[in-house]
Chain A
Amino acid sequence: MSDDLVNIEINGRPVQARKGQMLIHATDASGDYVPRFCYHDKLPIAANCRMCLVEVEKAPKPLPACATPVAEGMKIFTKSPKAIAAQKAVMEFLLINHPLDCPICDQGGECELQDLAVGFGRDVARYAERKRVVKDKNIGPLVSTDMTRCIHCTRCVRFTSEIQGFQELGTCGRGEHVEIGTFIEKSVEHELSGNIIDLCPVGALNSKPYRYSARAWEMTQQPLVSPHDSVGTNMFAHVLRGRVMRVVPRVNEDINENWIADRDRYSYEGLYSEDRLTKPQMREGYSWREVDWQTALHAVADRLNAVARQDAGQIGVLAAPSVTLEEAYLTQRIARGLGSNNIDHRLQRSDCSDQQFDPVFPWLGCSIAELEQTGSLLVIGSNLRKEAPLLAHRIRKAAVKRGAQVAFINARTYKYLFPVSGYLASNGIGMVDHLAAVVAAAAQAKGVTVPASVNALVAKAQASDAHRAIAAQLSSGERRIILLGALAQRDGGFAQLRALAAALSQITGAQLGYIADGGNTVAAHLAGVLPHRGVAGQSLPASGLSAADMLDAKLKSYLLVGSIEAQDLPAGAIEKMRANGFVVALSSYASAKDYADIILPIGTFAETSGTYVNVEGRWQSVPGAASPLGEARPAWKVLRVLGNLLNLSDFDYENSEQIRDELRNQTGNVIADNRYHNTAAVARHSAAEAIEVQLYSVDAIVRRATALQLTHEALQARAGEQA
């Protein structure tokens, strides 16, 4: 027997448990269910509900399983008359004040209290006294409150303090007057705040937009993967008559654990915005006409064919970085089938000067779960909490739980709810200069010369103590990583930043990683939605134009796939497209009327089967949850028919799996590898700063999610835009 283990007995069966574990860990592991309210796997133990009382031999009174450590020889009884009597007594206490409003409670049917009351409650109440009433709190547009139902388990409180990292909810008052809330009227503002809905074991906290719209048991549950960032968050859509009613987390310990970001939870509202397109549309002078699919598709094919016959280089193809792998692949096949390499998904990248040194796909550099284990991180150009809330959560855990040193180099200061070892915000000098100074400091400390590629960049670098500290933290210890975020990738000086980051990685031995900009960017890379590379990173005889260049070139025709809006494109893009071009948009929304001549209405991420490849390179396919609105169709089907009309060969896919498998067969040899092979000098030049990543404006769907748009975060961002 190892020293770490103790022998205990649960309901008469001998089992082993690890020292320091609580009884509830052991009973959960052995499959002996113990009822609980306040205990939660991911939260610190509070032991305040007492529902988990069990009998322990020789103990004079029942003990709370969630807060009693195992000890050698313990005999635990979870279902003995004494245990059951204790559990029933606690239930009776909990129900003294809990209202009997289950018929009008959204939690009804999926309520932990309701479920346990069936097992442990009495049929008849012994209390005739009035129940207490607690005023509801307004904690913002996302979470509704019915505080009379609260049983004071404090899961929500502990979520704000331990997971968010800044306590916003608290237990105010005392005894019978205790209330959970913010005390002063205040909304709970955090990118993960919606998770308190799932944590709340009763109907005190629920989804505000979902309120009173369906019953848990009438809906079906369909898997989804979030397209809003590169994490690949697993979630479920709850669907009623073809319509997504709400979105909840799908537990995946490797990716999102049991959390989802608010953006993932509430974006579904954008599916049903008023400007959703349900029929193909054609521009006629200054007005628009609804047409049938036949007409629209033929018009598109004729036009693209005509341009291609003259000069295929006049066709530009843009795909949103959130389209499915299948959509990306078919888009690529169409562009190249027509003879154009002008295809890109990097809508916000302005510096493509070193694109030949891009990795085949931008990889995190480790698995998402491993982020938690890192000892030292340098994050360059990233508004982490907004780009990828769940990566920020993992990094926070590394910093708080393991004392990881996390440093940032950013153009601006952003708030992090964990200790930060260093924060270099531009303050007049750019990210490039800060990073160059860190590289110089690292090279000096190690007594090595910097790689030739960054010679010019580092030449004048002035390292301060702050730079040296970051260089030192990256140079020793376990698991070190340098991450390039979306703001770095969008920055006008990206080639310089990357060369420096790669040099720093080389000098310090820290791994180089990327936080991919966009939900399915990795898939777009693999599918060859790039001007300079084909499928799986194949090199091409000649490069096409990047997104920015093809807009500047004012081509004769553009094809935009995936509900692209003006905000997704560089400034002035619409005017440039419309200058000479005939623009075809595959979009779910009428905003495409701003620039398109023909719009083909497509299903959103929730309405199509497809595959997402996350920033770890993990492929995840989902079958599609809801029916597309009206005549909208999944984009892969639209592209398939378009391919047929363009007479492209082997375009007869019957389902999205065939498309995925065809690509999969070609990507078998691709391995995640961020190494940077440039040896030529990267020149120093000043460049425009990146466009901010706005939490609730990352794509067309999120922009239309009503509740998200009412958050303080979104209102502030909009006020900032107008200012």
Chain B
Amino acid sequence: MSNTDHNAVQTGLSAHLKEEIDHWLTKFPPERKRSAVLAALRAAQHENNGFLTAQQMDAIAEYLQLPPIQVYEVASFYSMFETKPVGRYHVSVCTNISCMLCGGEELLEHVEKRLGIKVGESTSDGRFFLKREEECLAACTGAPMMMVDHVFYENLTPARVDEILDSLK
């Protein structure tokens, strides 16, 4: 029996999420629950329309018996996690070197104009979040490119971008 600060009752995790976390837990030694944080956060963010709430992170911490701060650390470190409310579709336009040379920056400008927001902002209807991408998205052969959630769109033109954005409801 252990009597530490972090063994309170579990709250706030959906059955699906628990299943998902349990699945990942089987892949690590039992005393390495911390290893499952990343997978847990990904699943939680997915469930919550693209961003994490403090409650979700606390619930994950409780479930994995970790101090909450260790979950916050991971969530704030990785750019694929959002810890503030953002739009449903995460749109990132790559502006790293290959894309930049092929017009990525102009493409980004176009998207900003089209959505009426700057990088890092979300549209007021909650549809789009124009995410800052820190690094090359590894699709240089198809530059310029953009990523929407987990889907890559390559060899883009402004017209093609408009088409893609219009198709997202």
Decide if A and B are genuine partners.
yes
**Min CB–CB distance A464 → chain B (angstroms):** 13
Contact across chains for A183 and B76 when beta carbons are under 8 A apart = yes
Q: How far is the CA of A58 from the CA of B86 in the complex (A)?
A: 52
Across the interface, name the chain B residue whose C-beta is closest to A161. B67
A667 at the binding interface (Cβ < 8 Å) = no
Contact across chains for A170 and B69 when beta carbons are under 8 A apart = yes
Contact across chains for A419 and B73 when beta carbons are under 8 A apart = no
Contact across chains for A172 and B73 when beta carbons are under 8 A apart = yes
B163 at the binding interface (Cβ < 8 Å) = no
From B4, B68, B69, B77, give the contact of A419 (CB < 8 A). B4
Q: How far is the CA of A421 from the CA of B4 in the complex (A)?
A: 12
A401 at the binding interface (Cβ < 8 Å) = no
Contacting residues, chain B, for A174 (C-beta < 8 A) = 76-79
Contact across chains for A166 and B5 when beta carbons are under 8 A apart = yes
Q: Using known A-B contacts A167-B70, A172-B76, determine if residue A423 contacts B3 with beta carbons closer than 8 Å.
A: yes
Q: How far is the CA of A182 from the CA of B68 in the complex (A)?
A: 9
A168 at the binding interface (Cβ < 8 Å) = yes
Across the interface, name the chain A residue whose C-beta is closest to B58. A184
Within A141-182, the residues touching B (CB, 8 Å) are 161, 165-175, 182
A569 at the binding interface (Cβ < 8 Å) = no
> 0/1 per residue, A172-198, Cβ < 8 Å to B?
111100000011100000000000000
Interface residues on A, range: 20 to 34
Contacting residues, chain A, for B76 (C-beta < 8 A) = 172-174, 183
Contacting residues, chain B, for A167 (C-beta < 8 A) = 67, 69-70
> 0/1 per residue, B1-37, Cβ < 8 Å to A?
1111110000000000000000000000000000000
A420 at the binding interface (Cβ < 8 Å) = yes
Within B51-109, the residues touching A (CB, 8 Å) are 54, 67-70, 72-73, 76-79
Contact across chains for A183 and B72 when beta carbons are under 8 A apart = yes
Contact across chains for B73 and A184 when beta carbons are under 8 A apart = no
Contact across chains for B4 and A416 when beta carbons are under 8 A apart = yes
**Min CB–CB distance B53 → chain A (angstroms):** 11
**Min CB–CB distance A25 → chain B (angstroms):** 29
Contacting residues, chain A, for B6 (C-beta < 8 A) = 166
Q: Using known A-B contacts A172-B76, A174-B77, A184-B54, determine if residue A420 contacts B70 with beta carbons closer than 8 Å.
A: no
Q: How far is the CA of A531 from the CA of B116 in the complex (A)?
A: 84
From A183, A418, A423, give the contact of B69 (CB < 8 A). A183
Contacting residues, chain B, for A420 (C-beta < 8 A) = 1-3
A403 at the binding interface (Cβ < 8 Å) = no
Across the interface, name the chain A residue whose C-beta is closest to B78. A174
Interface centre among B6, B72, B78 (most CB of A within 10 A): B72
From A169, A175, A182, A415, give the contact of B5 (CB < 8 A). A415
From B54, B69, B78, give the contact of A169 (CB < 8 A). B69
Q: How far is the CA of A259 from the CA of B77 in the complex (A)?
A: 32
From A169, A182, A184, A415, give the contact of B3 (CB < 8 A). A415
A509 at the binding interface (Cβ < 8 Å) = no
**Min CB–CB distance A398 → chain B (angstroms):** 15
A422 at the binding interface (Cβ < 8 Å) = yes
Q: How far is the CA of A417 from the CA of B73 in the complex (A)?
A: 21
Q: How far is the CA of A708 from the CA of B4 in the complex (A)?
A: 24
Contact across chains for A413 and B3 when beta carbons are under 8 A apart = yes
Q: Is the interface of B mostly helix, strand, loop or mixed?
A: loop
Across the interface, name the chain B residue whose C-beta is closest to A157. B69
Q: How far is the CA of A420 from the CA of B1 in the complex (A)?
A: 7
Q: Is the interface of A mostly helix, strand, loop or mixed?
A: loop
Contacting residues, chain B, for A182 (C-beta < 8 A) = 69
Across the interface, name the chain B residue whose C-beta is closest to A177. B76
Interface centre among A166, A170, A417 (most CB of B within 10 A): A170
Contact across chains for A417 and B72 when beta carbons are under 8 A apart = no
Contact across chains for B72 and A418 when beta carbons are under 8 A apart = no
Contacting residues, chain B, for A168 (C-beta < 8 A) = 67, 69
Contact across chains for A415 and B4 when beta carbons are under 8 A apart = yes
Contact across chains for B4 and A166 when beta carbons are under 8 A apart = yes
Q: How far is the CA of A413 from the CA of B69 in the complex (A)?
A: 25
**Min CB–CB distance A58 → chain B (angstroms):** 35
From B2, B5, B73, give the contact of A171 (CB < 8 A). B73
Across the interface, name the chain B residue whose C-beta is closest to A171. B73
Contacting residues, chain B, for A423 (C-beta < 8 A) = 1, 3
Within A377-434, the residues touching B (CB, 8 Å) are 413, 415-423
Contacting residues, chain A, for B72 (C-beta < 8 A) = 170, 172, 183-184
Q: How far is the CA of A166 from the CA of B54 in the complex (A)?
A: 18
Q: How far is the CA of A368 from the CA of B128 in the complex (A)?
A: 61
Q: How far is the CA of A175 from the CA of B70 in the complex (A)?
A: 17
Contacting residues, chain B, for A413 (C-beta < 8 A) = 3
Q: How far is the CA of A413 from the CA of B4 in the complex (A)?
A: 11
Contact across chains for B2 and A419 when beta carbons are under 8 A apart = yes
**Min CB–CB distance A81 → chain B (angstroms):** 36
**Min CB–CB distance B157 → chain A (angstroms):** 32
Contact across chains for A417 and B5 when beta carbons are under 8 A apart = yes
Across the interface, name the chain B residue whose C-beta is closest to A469. B1
Contact across chains for A170 and B1 when beta carbons are under 8 A apart = no
Contact across chains for B1 and A422 when beta carbons are under 8 A apart = yes
Q: How far is the CA of A556 from the CA of B1 in the complex (A)?
A: 54
Q: How far is the CA of A416 from the CA of B4 in the complex (A)?
A: 6
Contacting residues, chain B, for A422 (C-beta < 8 A) = 1
Q: How far is the CA of A184 from the CA of B67 in the complex (A)?
A: 13
Q: How far is the CA of A525 from the CA of B114 in the complex (A)?
A: 82
**Min CB–CB distance B76 → chain A (angstroms):** 4
Q: How far is the CA of A396 from the CA of B5 in the complex (A)?
A: 14
Q: How far is the CA of A350 from the CA of B73 in the complex (A)?
A: 50
**Min CB–CB distance A576 → chain B (angstroms):** 39
**Min CB–CB distance A685 → chain B (angstroms):** 30
**Min CB–CB distance B9 → chain A (angstroms):** 15
Q: How far is the CA of A183 from the CA of B84 in the complex (A)?
A: 12
Contacting residues, chain A, for B5 (C-beta < 8 A) = 166, 415, 417
Q: How far is the CA of A420 from the CA of B5 in the complex (A)?
A: 12
Contacting residues, chain B, for A171 (C-beta < 8 A) = 73, 77
Q: How far is the CA of A464 from the CA of B138 in the complex (A)?
A: 63
Across the interface, name the chain B residue whose C-beta is closest to A183. B72
**Min CB–CB distance A418 → chain B (angstroms):** 7
Contact across chains for A170 and B4 when beta carbons are under 8 A apart = no
Q: How far is the CA of A401 from the CA of B69 in the complex (A)?
A: 23
Contact across chains for A173 and B77 when beta carbons are under 8 A apart = yes
Q: How far is the CA of A417 from the CA of B3 in the complex (A)?
A: 7
Q: How far is the CA of A169 from the CA of B72 in the complex (A)?
A: 10
Interface centre among B2, B3, B68, B73 (most CB of A within 10 A): B3
Contacting residues, chain A, for B4 (C-beta < 8 A) = 165-166, 415-419
Within A173-226, the residues touching B (CB, 8 Å) are 173-175, 182-184
Q: How far is the CA of A183 from the CA of B76 in the complex (A)?
A: 9
Q: How far is the CA of A173 from the CA of B77 in the complex (A)?
A: 4
Across the interface, name the chain B residue whose C-beta is closest to A422. B1
Contacting residues, chain B, for A169 (C-beta < 8 A) = 69
Contacting residues, chain A, for B134 (C-beta < 8 A) = 175
Interchain Cβ contacts under 8 Å between A and B, 6 examples: A167-B67, A168-B69, A170-B72, A171-B73, A415-B4, A423-B1
6 shortest A-B CB distances, which residue pairs?
A183-B72, A170-B69, A172-B76, A167-B67, A170-B73, A420-B3
Q: Which residues of B contact A (CB under 8 A)?
A: 1-6, 54, 67-70, 72-73, 76-79, 134
